[in-house]
Amino acid sequence: MRTFSIIGKRIPKPDAIPKATGQIIYGHDVKVPRMLYGKILRSPLPHARILHIDTSRAERLPGVKAVITAKDLPPRRFGYGRDRTPLKGDKVRRCGDEVAAVAAIDEDIAEEALELIRVEYDPLPAVFDPQAALQPGAPLIHEDRQSNLFRHQEYVHGEPDRALEEADVIVEDEFDLGYVQPAPLETSFCLAAFDASGKLTIWSTTQIPFLLQKDLSEALGIPGRDIRVIQTAIGGSFGRGLDMYSFEPICVWLARKAGRPVRLAFTRQEEFAVSEARQSMRIWARAGAMRDGRLWVRDAKVLLDNGAYVSWGTVTTLVLMETIGSLYRVPHARVVYDSVYTNNPITGAVRGFGNPQGTFVVEVQMDRLAEAIGMDPLEFRLRNANRPFEETPQGIKITTCGLTECLEEAARRIGWSEKRAAPARHGVIARGVGIAATMNVGGGARIYRSDGCGCIVKVDDFGRVTVLTGATEIGQGSDVVVVQIVAEELGIRPEEITIVNDDTAVTPWDVGVHASRTTFIAGNAALRAARQVKAQILETAEELLGASAAELELRDGYVRIRETPEQRIPFDKVVRARHFRQGGQVIIGHGWYDPHNEMLGPDGKGNISATYGFGAQAVEVEVDVETGKVRPLRVVSAHDVGRAINPMYVEGQIEGGTVMGLGYALSEHLQVHEGRVLNLTPFDYRMPTIMDAPPIETVIIETDDPEGPFGAKGVGEMGTNPTAAAVANAIYNAIGVRINSLPITPEKVLRALRERSS
C-alpha cells in the first residue's frame, strides 16, 4: 500500500493567514483610480409596460457621469433561455427588473440620481403560481413564446406503470419546497474598466471566469480576447456565481459611456431581493416496494418555478432526475417535469443544484416504504444500496461506492438501534433520530461541451514551483488541494509552491467551479502537469546520479536513489543543472484533464459524471410539542470521498454543507408575495449561525477512486443534500407526524400535530 508524505495531511490554506488578519482583498475592497460608483434603478412592479423613461434631471445632477437606459444598449439577449436584456426597454417581468442605471462620483450622488429618474408604467396582469401560469389565458411573461412553459421533459427506465401495479406497497406524497437564497456574506460585485486601446478588464466574484468572458463577449459585442476577468478573493458564492447577470454588462456599459472605471456592488437588501434563489418546486411522488424489502418503483412529477427569466437553474432538474432514478437500486422509475415562467424572482444555481430537493423526496419516501413493509429504515436502505462498479438503468456508471459503509457508520455513531426503537419523551419534549443518504456527482458534470481544466507547473532556479490553474477558489480549499497534489508528486514541501488562479490573462482555461468537480478535475490536471515536471527532473538527475529514472524518487526536497537514499541531490540543484547547460531547458509541465463523462441524451440517460460520491447523515432532534420548535441535537455525517487529500477541508466542506442543510430544513425561506421578496435581511431570512449549529461529527470513508487524483473525488455539495430529509425523518420518529413542506417551521409542526389529533 502506497504511503504519502503530503496527501492526507491537515495543511492550512495558502490564504488562511491573510483572511484571518484582514489582509485579503475581496471585491468590495478593490479601488482603482478615477473609479465611479454605479447604481441600478429597479422596477417596483412585477409586470408592466414601460411607457416612458425621463432621465434628464438625473443627467443634470452634479457628480453624475453616466446615465443609461435600454435605448443606449444594443438589443442583445443573454442567459440560458436567451430571454433577457441587461436593461428593460419594453416591459418589466419581475419586481427588481433593471430599468436604468447611473454612475456617479460617490454612492450618495448615485442614489440621489436614481430618485430623479421618472418611469411611467402601464401595469399588466401578473401570474405568480406556476400551475396557474400553465392555464389557458394566463398572462404571457414573454410574448414571443406561445405559453409560459419553458421546458417539458420526461425520463423513464423500466416499466413504471406496470411496476406500480405489481408493487406490494405504494406511498404517495406531495412536497412543497420553497425558495432558498445562497446568502453568501459578500454581496454581488463587479468593477469594469477600459484601457486606452479599448480592452476591457472586469474584477469579479464569479465562479466561471472563462465562461463569463465568453458570455460578456456575446452580450456586449466585444471580442472575447479583448476581455480580461480578474477574480478577487471571494466571500462565499454557493452557486450564485455560476451565471452572468444583468448587473455585469450594465457595469460595463456605464464604464464605456462614462469613460472611467465603474464599480457596482449590491446592498444586502438588493442581494436578497434580486439575486437568483434555489428553485421553488412542487413535487408529486409515488414509490413502491415489495414485501421482501426490494425497492421497486419511483414515479415523480415536478413543477419548477423559473421566475421571470431562465438561468442555469433550470438544469437542476437533470440532477434531480439522477437522484430519483439512481439513488439506491430502483428497477423502474419515471420523472416528468415542467419548467415554468412566472412573474416571481429568477431562480438559479445553489449548492446541491437540485439534489437537496430530489434527495428530500427520495429519502422521506424510503422511510415511508420501510414502515409500510414493516422493515427498519436502515435495513431497507442497506438492502437497496448502490454497489461499487455497477451501472444503473439510467446509465450512471458507478466506480467506487461506500454507501453501505456510510449508512452503517452514521447509524452506529448516532445510536440508531437503541434510540429509534425507543424515542425519548420528557414532558413536552420528544426526541427522535432519522437517517438519509445521498449520491452526488464527484467527477464533474457534463452540462457544457467541455468539462475540462488546464494547469501549468513551472519551476524556477531556486526550486520554487509556481502552479497556474484555471480552478476557481471560492473558499472550498481547492488551492490547498492542488498544492498538496503537486507537492506530493514532486516530493517538496507545500510552502515551496505558489498558486496563481485568479486571472484569465494568465491562467489556463477551466469551465468553472461547480458540481463538486474541482478536486477531481483540477487535481487531475495538476497531477498531469506535475508528472511532466517530474519526468524532466528525473531525466536530468539520471545524468547526475548515474541511475535510471526507474531507480529514482523525489522525496523531502531531494532526488535520491530509492534503494540507497543517502545518494541524493537537492531538488533545486537538479533544476539549475537543467537550466544552466548547453541546450538547457525551462522546467515546465502542462496538464489538461477532461473527464470521461457525457452529456445526457434527450431521454435523460447517460453517465453525467466520471465518478460519484456517496454519503449518509443521521440526525437526532428534539421537538417541543407545545411550541413546535425543532432543535437538532447532533448530526453524524459520513461520506465516501475516494481519498481525503486534506481531511481538514473535507470536514470543513461537510460541516458547512450540513449547516446549510439545517437551514433548508428548519428556517431558511425566501418569502415571496406577489413577486416581491419580503424578508430582505439575514435576520428576517433566519439563516442559521454557529450558535444554531449542533455538534457535527464527520466521518470520512475512503474508497480510493481509480480515476481520481491519488484516489480522490469531490465532496463539496454532499453535506447539504441529505440533511433536510434526515431531520424530517427524525421529527417523525419523535412525534409521529410527517411534514413534506420545507422549511419545517414551528407553525407547521403544530398544525400537523393538530391535524393528527382531529
Q: Which residues pair with 91 in a beta bridge?
A: 49
Q: Detail the DSSP E strand segments found in 61-148.
A: 64-69, 91-92, 98-104, 118-123
What fold does the segment set 31-124+184-237+241-274 form as a domain?
A: Aldehyde Oxidoreductase; domain 3 (3.90.1170)
pLDDT at 368: 98
Q: Which SS3 state, helix, strand or coil, does residue 745 take?
A: coil
Percent of the chain with pLDDT over 70: 100
> For residues 270 and 724, what is the distance between their CA atoms, to the nearest angstrom?
27
Q: How far is CA 134 from the centre of its chain?
A: 29
With a cut of 70, list the residues of the chain below it in pLDDT: 1
Per-residue confidence (pLDDT) for residue 757, from 0 to 100: 85
- What Å distances lie between residue 95 and 536, 673, 678, CA to CA? 59, 11, 11
| Second-level CATH architecture of 280-445+600-757 | 2-Layer Sandwich (3.30)
Angle, alpha carbons 491-494-495 (nearest 5°): 125
Of 227, 233, 427, 395, nearest to 326 by C-alpha is: 395
Which residues have CB under 8 Å from 731's CB, separation 6+? Answer: 432, 434, 621, 623, 630, 737, 739, 744, 749
Any idea where the domains of the chain sit in the sequence? 16-23+452-593, 31-124+184-237+241-274, 280-445+600-757
Q: Using alpha carbons only, how large is the chain's radius of gyration in Å?
A: 27
Q: Rounded distance, CA 206 to CA 186, Å?
A: 12
Question: Is the bond into 682 cis (omega within 30 degrees of 0)?
Answer: no
Angle at which helix 518-545 crosses helix 571-579, to 10 degrees, equals: 70
Query: Considering the domain 16-23+452-593, what is its CATH architecture?
Result: 2-Layer Sandwich (3.30)
Asked whether the domain spanning 280-445+600-757 has the same topology as the one spanning 16-23+452-593, the reply is yes
Cα separation, 559 vs 538, whole angstroms: 8
